[in-house]
Amino acid sequence: MIENLASGVRAFTSNAFLVDGSRTVLVDAGSNFDVVSAIEDRSDRLDAVVLTHTHPDHVGNVPAVASAFDVEVWGYDSTVDGVDRELTDGEEVTLGEDDYVVVHTPGHKDDHVCLYAADPGILFAGDLVFQNGGFGRTDLPEGDRATLVASIDRVLETVDPALREMHVGHGPSVTTDPYDHIELAGRTAREL
């Protein structure tokens, strides 16, 4: 089961997805809200925090979560404060009940990754792409439009066109034709 713990929160935050199962994981911790209580209300344990990238809105709650649950924080760049375990491109990690491949997708931020599970057809897209062809900002430090476009293309080559769910860093998850939303993001990012 995947639940966005930031749903309905009125604060500057990213989405924060609790993936419950044999390995209960929080994908992005969000910021500026009590995610610890939200986790405790839904699960008696947390096994890890997995970061799509380390912008403040995605990691603001990391210290509180790591302390409350005594868990490791996994991210692409282990030199970033708070990241305990380095994820590598192509590595498989278990979130909930499913195995996800780590796909390094810079362009919004150098340490950005997406997480893709082929069997259930689920993608955690972070801030790479959003609903209706939206895509991550490239005007922040480490942002680069050409690199972002290449990362979107890589995701399109990696995921199955029959993708069922795309969970994004901001806004609603996409459960109707998410592959089409990724394609549209690629076209939009090229045109703007």
CA distance 182 to 126: 12
Residues 6+ apart with CB under 8 A from 85: 48, 72, 73, 74, 75, 78
Give the CA dihedral 12, 15, 20, 24, nearest 10 degrees.
-70
Residues 43 and 24: beta-carbon distance below 8 Å = yes
| Residue among 98, 136, 101, 102 nearest 14 (CA) | 136
Overall average pLDDT of the 136-144 stretch: 97
Residue 37 pLDDT grade (very low, low, confident, very high; cuts 50, 70, 90): very high
The pLDDT of residue 62: 98
Taking the CB of residue 156, how many other CB atoms lie within 10 A of it?
Answer: 16
Residues 26 and 18: beta-carbon distance below 8 Å = yes
CA distance 57 to 29: 8
**Three-class SS state of 64:** helix
2-191 is a CATH 1.20.1070.10 domain: no
The pLDDT of residue 192: 76
* DSSP, residue by residue, 4-42: ETTTT--SS----EEE-SSB-EEE---SSS-HHHHHHHH
Instruction: Give domain limits for the chain.
Output: 2-191
* DSSP, residue by residue, 123-144: EEEETSB-GGG-B---SSTT--
Residues 2 and 18: beta-carbon distance below 8 Å = yes
Residue 68 pLDDT grade (very low, low, confident, very high; cuts 50, 70, 90): very high
Q: What tens digit of pLDDT does each residue of 73-88 get? A: 999 999 999 999 999 9
